[in-house]
Amino acid sequence: MTNAHDVDTRPGRLLLLLPLQAGLVAALGLLVTGPLAGRWPLSAEDGVNRALAARRSVPASVFSEAMSLLAGTGSVIALTLVACVVLLCVPRVPRWREVAFLAGSVAAQSAVFLLVTLVVERPRPDVPHLDAAPPTSSFPSGHVGASMALFGGLAVLAARRLRGLRRYLVVAALLLIPLAVAGSRVYRGMHHPSDVLAGLLNGACTLLVVAGALLLPGTGAAPERAAGDGPTEPRPGPAGGRTSSGARGRVVVVRHPHGCDGETAARVRDVLRGRGWTDQVWVLTSAEEPCGALAARTAGADTALVVVCGGDGTVRACADVLAGTGIPMAIVPCGTGNLLARNLRLPSDAAAALREALSGEAVGVDVGRISGDGLAPTRFVVMAGAGFDAAMVRDASPRLKEHLGWAAYVLSALRHLRDPRMRLSIRLDGGAPLERRARMVVIGNVGTLQGGLPLLPDARPDSGRLDVVLLDPRGPGGWFAAARHLASRGTGRGSADGRPRPAPGGPGRLAAHGALEYFSAARIDLRLARAQPRELDGDAFAAGTRVTAEVEPGALRVCLPVPVRTGAPGAPGAPDEQVTDGAEGAAALSAGN
């Protein structure tokens, strides 16, 4: 549990470690030049310098000169300035905190270095020098310390931003630079090996201290605000009136650590504090507990709001706990698909979504309750599926998801285009079973996929019903017709076959030459002839033959911005054209109208 109040003073306290660090490096320098001088391994250092000086070559000298130039004072200042300008101008939201970290690390390292050289005096190695020797002590190496602060600092930022293989490659490449500078300085006869080790140590310690002060979530550094951010004063919000002391109640923040990185978490924390939610309890999700300890945190406690920082899987797991409790949920989209957030028209930026949600109203949204063989009763908020889409979800590579986002699902889908059709029977609201063949069956609470593709054009999160689509394309022509139908609905262009018509001999509505069949019901019972892969809100579940889904109208209170738009975005003439304002609109959605 982390309380925002507990961490306010940490940055100041951590920066106090810098003088301590200067003292330690200076003490090390005094040891190296005093009692330890002449003892192994320091006694071997002159030999190393002499051996390198004796083996100098043109390529090595050119390389070492380039490295020394790169780590020179002028280059480090210029590169730091460029990096800071890039951090401020290139991302959508200026990265003030990262700028402060980088510039602060470079400046703090130099300050510690200068302080140490006031105390420690060590002559340069007794070999020919390839550079003019600066007046400072040989211990520690300023070039190496500066390059560690700058390139090591960039490595820290890259490690926070990048994912997968790219992260390791970039971080390794950046960390190699100070090592190459260290070797170059010894090669050029400018430093003993222990000088460059002390430079590396000084740079690394500076990074640790400054990162601890400025980058860790909850360090209480100046809030980072996007352009157009609202005022920081607490405003009327979706839930949880103020206590007598003026503060709001407790907010539990559920954080999927992979999707919601440290910086996003810090922005979420800042937005919440700016809106008066100072009593924050943070819980982390895990593969085994996709909503962390949310149930324990909300059981019996006075939780006024739950903020979910994750993708649809995390939102689903939290919704399963919160449905029916009345505790409102705010969604901070941090996943790959974020389909519920998209369908509810929340901004894709995490902090912006939270700000808008907190400025709006908590309204009732339907959830689906689902069970089956090997599927313990649980809930979903987006879509549940069996067949093609579940196989696609199951086989999407996590690594590709990290690099390509939802395009990874498209690649996975291509592998399953030729999967065999399923035989199934479907019962709607306890009616007679309908026998069908299909490649995929999807039951949806909302209907729009990535790119505005309306898989279930009539689905609305407040309809009090669930929508169903069966996909049964025959051959490439069928797939093309289905794709064209969905795409034309997505862009608002109707096709000749675009109008769904009643299915002959059943309650469904056919479209795309019969490749798509739509239903709607409050309860759906599915029987599959053979065990099929199944998915809930983008997470694969065990294969099985039975699925029962039932709607729980308005069971989940979700904080939505006002004006409230309802319906499937992108569907022409569909409810997404409706825009209602303020509390009235929220109330209408809440009532499932």
Ligand X SMILES: Nc1ncnc2c1ncn2[C@@H]1O[C@H](COP(=O)(O)OP(=O)(O)OP(=O)(O)O)[C@@H](O)[C@H]1O
CB of 335 to ligand X, least distance (A): 2
Nearer to ligand X, 252 or 304 (CB): 252
Strand partners, 558: 329, 363
Distance, CA of 414 to CA of 411 (rounded, Å): 5
Residue 385 binds to ligand X (criterion: CB under 6 A): no
Residue 311 binds to ligand X (criterion: CB under 6 A): yes
Q: Which stretch binds ligand X (CB under 6 A): 128-136, 189-197, 251-259, 521-529?
A: 251-259
Nearer to ligand X, 264 or 336 (CB): 336
**CB atoms inside a 10 Å sphere around CB 451:** 12
259 contacts 332 by C-beta, under 8 angstroms: no
Choose, by CB under 6 A, the member of 224, 539, 550, 552 that binds ligand X: 539
Residue 202 binds to ligand X (criterion: CB under 6 A): no
Residue 533 binds to ligand X (criterion: CB under 6 A): no
The helix, strand and coil proportions of the chain, stated in percent and rounded to the nearest 5, come to 45, 20, 35
Distance, CA of 560 to CA of 239 (rounded, Å): 11
Choose, by CB under 6 A, the member of 72, 94, 257, 563 that binds ligand X: 257
| Per-residue interface string for the shown chain with ligand X, residues 468-487, x marking contact by CB under 6 A | --------------------
Nearer to ligand X, 259 or 569 (CB): 259
Residues 393-412 close enough to bind ligand X by CB under 6 A: none
215 contacts 267 by C-beta, under 8 angstroms: no
Strand partners, 530: none
Residue type, position 198, single letter: A
Q: Give the CB-nearest residue to ligand X.
A: 311
565 contacts 575 by C-beta, under 8 angstroms: no
Residue 336 binds to ligand X (criterion: CB under 6 A): yes
Strand partners, 380: 368
Residue 287 binds to ligand X (criterion: CB under 6 A): yes
521 contacts 465 by C-beta, under 8 angstroms: yes
Q: Which stretch binds ligand X (CB under 6 A): 43-51, 252-260, 367-375, 542-550?
A: 252-260
CB of 160 to ligand X, least distance (A): 16
Closest CA to 36 of 136, 111, 139: 139
Nearer to ligand X, 174 or 351 (CB): 351
**Burial class (CB within 10 angstroms; exposed 0-12, middle 13-18, buried 19+) of 322:** buried
Q: Which stretch binds ligand X (CB under 6 A): 4-12, 174-182, 234-242, 285-293?
A: 285-293
CB of 63 to ligand X, least distance (A): 42
CB of 327 to ligand X, least distance (A): 19
Q: Which two tokens stand for residue 165?
A: 């293989």
Q: Which residues contact 23 (CB under 8 A, 6 or more apart)?
A: none
Distance, CA of 314 to CA of 318 (rounded, Å): 6
Closest CA to 458 of 447, 443, 469: 447
CB of 590 to ligand X, least distance (A): 24
Tokens 């192994």 -> residue: 40
Nearer to ligand X, 289 or 584 (CB): 289
Strand partners, 516: 471, 511
Nearer to ligand X, 227 or 287 (CB): 287
Residue 256 binds to ligand X (criterion: CB under 6 A): yes
Closest CA to 415 of 400, 435, 436: 400
CB of 528 to ligand X, least distance (A): 23
Q: How many residues bind ligand X (CB under 6 A)?
A: 19
Residue 517 binds to ligand X (criterion: CB under 6 A): no
Choose, by CB under 6 A, the member of 264, 338, 520, 532 that binds ligand X: 338
CA distances from residue 235 to 232, 268, 524, 557 in whole angstroms, order as listed: 8, 16, 42, 19
Q: Which stretch binds ligand X (CB under 6 A): 76-84, 306-314, 319-327, 357-365?
A: 306-314
Residue 328 binds to ligand X (criterion: CB under 6 A): no
Residue 285 binds to ligand X (criterion: CB under 6 A): yes
Choose, by CB under 6 A, the member of 125, 153, 240, 310 that binds ligand X: 310
Residue 337 binds to ligand X (criterion: CB under 6 A): yes
Cα 19 off chain centre by: 35
CB of 558 to ligand X, least distance (A): 15
CB of 351 to ligand X, least distance (A): 18
CB of 569 to ligand X, least distance (A): 16
Pairing of strands 303-310, 329-333: parallel
Strand partners, 535: 385, 540
Nearer to ligand X, 147 or 338 (CB): 338
Residue 140 binds to ligand X (criterion: CB under 6 A): no
Q: Which two tokens stand for residue 479?
A: 């797939």
Residues that bind ligand X (CB under 6 A): 256-259, 285-287, 290, 310-314, 335-338, 538-539
